[in-house]
Each structure stands twice: as C-alpha cells, then as structure tokens.
Amino acid sequence: MEILDGKKAAQAIKDELKMEVAQLAVEGKKIPHLAAILVGNNGASETYVAAKVKACDEVGFKSTLVRFEADIPSVKLLEKVQELNNDPDVDGILVQLPLPKHIRESDVIDAIDPDKDVDGFHPVNIGKMLQGLPSFVPATPHGIMLLLEHFKVETKGKHAVVVGRSNIVGRPMSILLSSNSNPGNCTVTICHSHTKNLKELCLQADIIVAALGKPEFVTADMVKDGAVVVDVGITRVEDSSRKTGFKLKGDVHFESVAPKCSWITPVPGGVGPMTIAALMKNTFVSCKLKN
C-alpha cells in the first residue's frame, strides 16, 4: 500500500507556482490576486479560508479577505461580488460555502464573473467542463485529478465508483474521471443515498472516491484488494483529549481499508491540500489569461 500524499503533491504544485510568480515579478507583469469572501464565523469555514490565504502568501499571490456578519442581506453580498467582478486587479473570486440559510448559494455563484470563478462552480464553467472545453474545474475534483497525475496512478479502463453526487465534488468528479484524458478514461458509477447495492458496487471498483460526509463509512469489507481509495470526507468529530475539542475524520475507515489498497489518501493530508493547490492553479491561470 502506498500513500497518495496530498501534502507532498500540493507542495510540488505550489513550488512551481512560486517560481512562475517570481518570474512574472521579474518581468514586471501582474501578480495573481485572489479575493475570498467569508460570511459569518463557522469554525470550519474560518480554517479553510485561512488556509487559502496562507497558500496565496506562500506562492506570492496577492490576497484579499472580505468578511461579513452572518446576517448580511443577500443584496449586499451580491453588490460586493459585483464590485470584485469589476475590479481589474482581482483575478479570482471565491465565496466560502456554506452560506447562511437566508442567502441562496446559487444566486451568489451565478453572480461571479465566470472568468474569475476560480472555484469552478459557475454554470458556464460546469457546462464547459461537461463539453471537455478549457474551463475552471471545481477545486476539489481538480485537485484529485492532479493528485492521481502526480503519483502516476493508472486510470484508463478502470472502474471508478464515486460515492456522493454533490455539485462541488461527486458530480464533477464523475465527469472528470470519465473524460477522454489522462488521468481519466474510467468507466464511472456514481452513487448516492438512494443507491441500493452500494457495497457490491464498491467491491467492483478499481478506484473509489468517497465524498459523502459520513465519517468512516467505507469499511474494509466494501473494498477489493488492490483498489485505489480517495477519501474526500472531512468531518469534525468531538475529541475532548485535543485542545481544539475535535479531530478530523474522513469517509473511509483508514486503519482497516489501507492494508487492502494499492493507493490511499490520508485524512488530513490527502485531498484537502490538493483542493487548495488546485485553487491556486486556477487563480494563476485566470491571471495569465487576462493579462
């Protein structure tokens, strides 16, 4: 069993970006600028946004963090998105999800200029991705593809089972894995909470992507020998022995599943860092395309 080390692969991507940004600076060209919007004070969202801002610092991007109270009227948030759309210095805009209940997430996603939609959630980018056209690909599935590419995991002709069909992870993941590319060219089965024979389907999988948000859901009896297992899940589980009061759990029962795998991602240190690396890559591309 080998570890799909997301920290290592993400570091390699960030190191390359750092060199390219340094080159832009030498040439007097524009440095990429990511603007992040955080609404409210959800602990996990705070952590994710802080990690994204830190990654910008590491690679030499400019970043702006815009914070709003949880009760901000939707219209005010949309005004801010418009302002960032119109700001020529801003290359990428991300609105950290989830948003408070009174704000319709799709309204906010639709308001972002598709050319600055570095999270890749805008319908224009999703549509282009479906057609195999150049687009901003949602950061988590994009990061997973980069991870498979980094470790040269063979995907051609494999049967991939994606558990979860969300717009930000499961669905785009299924599209990318089935696309005519490398990595890609898998035969994909996508599962959800109404899938009847999930265990049997997982047992047929050469590659499992677990993205359902249920800690340690995928157990050894669901995984065939030699499978590649990608664990997207991050759930905060209470743990009074830790200073934070919680620990992070993936969707895969790592201890029992890992010995059966050819490759497996750890949690933390697998998909999480790759999501951020993919976001950095998207922001860099956005800046280059515009300048």
Which residue is closest to ligand NDP by CB?
A: 166
Q: Is 269 a residue that touches ligand NDP (CB under 6 A)? A: no
Question: Does residue 119 have an active-site annotation?
Answer: yes
Rounded Cα distance between 20 and 208, Å, is 34
Rounded Cα distance between 172 and 144, Å, is 11
Rounded Cα distance between 165 and 14, Å, is 29
SS3 222: helix
Nearest to ligand NDP of 168, 258 (CB atom): 168
Q: State the minimum distance, in angstroms, from the CB of residue 196 to ligand NDP.
A: 10
Q: State the minimum distance, in angstroms, from the CB of residue 86 to ligand NDP.
A: 29
Question: Does residue 152 have an active-site annotation?
Answer: no
Where residue 9 falls (left for φ over 0; alpha for ψ -120 to 50; beta otherwise) is alpha
Q: State the minimum distance, in angstroms, from the CB of residue 191 to ligand NDP.
A: 5
In the region spanning residues 143 to 202, those forming contacts with ligand NDP, defined by CB under 6 A, are 163-166, 168-170, 191-195, 198
In the region spanning residues 229 to 258, those forming contacts with ligand NDP, defined by CB under 6 A, are 232-235
Interface segment toward ligand NDP; rule CB under 6 A; list 22-30, 58-66, 102-110, 210-218: 210-218
Nearest to ligand NDP of 24, 139 (CB atom): 139
SS3 67: strand
- Applying CB under 6 A, which of residues 264, 272, 278, 284 lies at the interface with ligand NDP? 272
Judged by CB under 6 A, the number of residues near ligand NDP is: 25
Could you tell me which residues come within 8 angstroms of residue 19 by beta carbon, excluding any fewer than 6 positions away?
Answer: none
Question: Does residue 82 have an active-site annotation?
Answer: no
Length in residues, the chain: 291
Q: Is 96 a residue that touches ligand NDP (CB under 6 A)? A: no
Residue 141's alpha-carbon distances to 82, 144, 147, 193, 210, in angstroms, are 27, 5, 10, 20, 12
Q: Is 47 a residue that touches ligand NDP (CB under 6 A)? A: no
Annotate 6-38 with DSSP letters as a single string. HHHHHHHHHHHHHHHHHHHHHTTPPPPEEEEEE
Active-site residue, from 52, 62, 116, 281: 52
Classify residue 246 by burial, with Cβ atoms within 10 Å: 0-12, 13-18, 19+. middle
Interface segment toward ligand NDP; rule CB under 6 A; list 64-72, 86-94, 172-180, 228-236: 228-236
Nearest to ligand NDP of 24, 280 (CB atom): 280
**Are the C-beta atoms of 38 and 50 separated by less than 8 Å?**
no
Location of structure tokens 């948000």 = 213
Q: State the minimum distance, in angstroms, from the CB of residue 223 to ligand NDP.
A: 15
Residue 204's alpha-carbon distances to 114, 155, 198, 223, in angstroms, are 38, 15, 10, 8
SS3 91: coil
Q: State the minimum distance, in angstroms, from the CB of residue 231 to ligand NDP.
A: 8
Q: State the minimum distance, in angstroms, from the CB of residue 169 to ligand NDP.
A: 4
**What residues are labeled active site?**
52, 96, 119
Q: List contacts with ligand NDP (CB under 6 A).
A: 140, 163-166, 168-170, 191-195, 198, 211-214, 232-235, 271-272, 275
